[in-house]
């Protein structure tokens, strides 16, 4: 357990950041699920629209430190190649 005032503050700060990051990850996963569902349905227009909506959200996760930039780049690349294959 935290004893010093600074360590108590760090514990509070870590919990607050954890909640924010958890919400951000959940939001990104929702966007990814919409892209996956659009790809599964075979609708190219919906897939392209869902991917365009998901990309800035994923990159925002990178700038906020939730995901590593290479991880997001890899996911976007794989999704875009799957969307491109629909046509």
Residues 6+ positions from 31 with CB-CB distance below 8 Å: 50, 53, 54, 57, 58
What confidence category does residue 85 fall into, taking pLDDT thresholds of 50, 70 and 90?
very high
Length of the chain counted residue by residue: 87
Residue 72 near residue 82, CB atoms below 8 Å:
no
pTM, rounded to two decimals: 0.86
Residue 75 near residue 59, CB atoms below 8 Å:
no
- 22 pLDDT higher than 90: yes
Instruction: Report in angstroms the alpha-carbon separations of 52 from 12, 56, 59.
Output: 36, 8, 12
When divided into structural domains, the chain yields a total of 1
Here the CATH number for the domain that contains residue 27 is: 1.20.58.110
Instruction: Quote the tokens at residue 7.
Output: 């360590």
Average pLDDT taken over every residue of the chain: 95
CA 52 from centre of chain: 13
- 72 pLDDT higher than 80: yes
- Domain extent, residue 45, equals 5-86
């Amino acid at each position: 357990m935290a004893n010093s005032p600074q360590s108590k503050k760090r514990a509070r700060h870590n919990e607050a950041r954890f909640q924010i990051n958890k919400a951000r990850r959940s939001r990104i996963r929702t966007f990814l699920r919409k892209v996956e569902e659009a790809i599964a349905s075979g609708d190219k227009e919906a897939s392209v629209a869902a991917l365009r909506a998901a990309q800035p959200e994923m990159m925002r996760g990178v700038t906020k430190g939730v995901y590593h930039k290479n991880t997001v780049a890899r996911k976007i690349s794989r999704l875009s190649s799957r969307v491109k294959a629909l046509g």
